[in-house]
Structure 1
Amino acid sequence: MKFLFPIKRLLLRSAALVTVTLATASCSWLQSLDTDPTIDWSADKLYTEARTALDDSNWTQAKDYYQKLEARFPFGQYAQQAQIELIYANWKDGDAPGAVQAADRFLRSYPNHPNSDYVMYLKALATLNETDSWFNILAAEDLAERDANASREAFDIFKELTLRFPESRFAPEARRRMHALVLAQAEHELKTAQYYYVRHAYVAAIERAQRVVREFQNTPMRDDALELIAACYDELKMTDLAADTRRIIEANKGKVRKEPAR
Structure 2
Amino acid sequence: MVAAMSLSIAACAGRNRPRLAYEERPVELLYNTGFERLQSRRWTDAVDYFQEVERQHPYSEWSRRAILMQVYAHYQAGDYTDAIAAADRFIQLFPGSPSAAYAFYMKAVCNFEQIVDVGRDQAYSQAALAGLRDVIRRYPTSSYATDARVKIDMVNDQLAGKEMTIGRWYQRRSQPLAAIGRYKTVIDDAAFQRTSHTPEALYRLTEVYLGLGLKDEATRNAAVLGFNYPGSPWYAEAYALLNEQGVKPETEPTGKRESWLRRIIPG
Q: TM-score, with normalisation over the residues of structure 2? A: 0.69
The Cα of 1:44 is off from its aligned counterpart by 1.0
Is 1:95 the equivalent of 2:86?
no
Q: Which residue of 1 aligns with 2:118?
A: 137
Q: 1:51 to 1:89 in 2, by over 3 A?
A: same
Q: Which residue of 2 aligns with 1:190?
A: 164
Whichever of the two has the greater Rg, that structure is: 1
Alignment of 1:1-262 (within 5 A): 39-131=23-115, 133=116, 136-138=117-119, 143-144=120-121, 147=122, 149-215=123-189, 216-235=192-211, 238-240=212-214, 243-255=216-228
Deviates more, 1:243-252 or 1:109-118: 243-252
Letter in 2 for 1:230: T
Q: Could you say what secondary structure the match of 2:60 adopts?
A: coil
**Do 1:230 and 1:243's aligned partners in 2 also have CA atoms closer than 8 Å?**
no
The Cα of 1:229 is off from its aligned counterpart by 2.6
Higher normalized helix content (fraction of residues): 1
The Cα of 1:252 is off from its aligned counterpart by 4.7
CA–CA distance in 2 between the matches of 1:64 and 1:115?
Answer: 21
Q: 1:155 to 1:249 in 2, by over 3 A?
A: same
CA–CA distance in 2 between the matches of 1:76 and 1:66?
Answer: 13
**Do 2:30 and 2:49's aligned partners in 1 also have CA atoms closer than 8 Å?**
yes
Count of matched residue positions in the alignment of Structure 1 and Structure 2: 211
CA–CA distance in 1 between the matches of 2:42 and 2:131?
Answer: 28
**Do 1:223 and 1:249's aligned partners in 2 also have CA atoms closer than 8 Å?**
no
CA–CA distance in 2 between the matches of 1:91 and 1:119?
Answer: 12
Q: TM-score, with normalisation over the residues of structure 1? A: 0.70
Letter in 1 for 2:223: E
How big is each residue's C-alpha offset from its partner over 1:183-230, in whole Å with a ceiling of 9 and x where there is no partner?
A: 232223223322443454544433322221222223342231122133
Aligned alpha-carbon RMSD (Å): 2.7
CA–CA distance in 1 between the matches of 2:52 and 2:141?
Answer: 34
**Do 1:117 and 1:165's aligned partners in 2 also have CA atoms closer than 8 Å?**
yes
Is there any run of 5+ residues in structure 2 with no aligned partner, and where?
Answer: 1-16, 230-267
Q: 1:130 to 1:179 in 2, by over 3 A?
A: closer
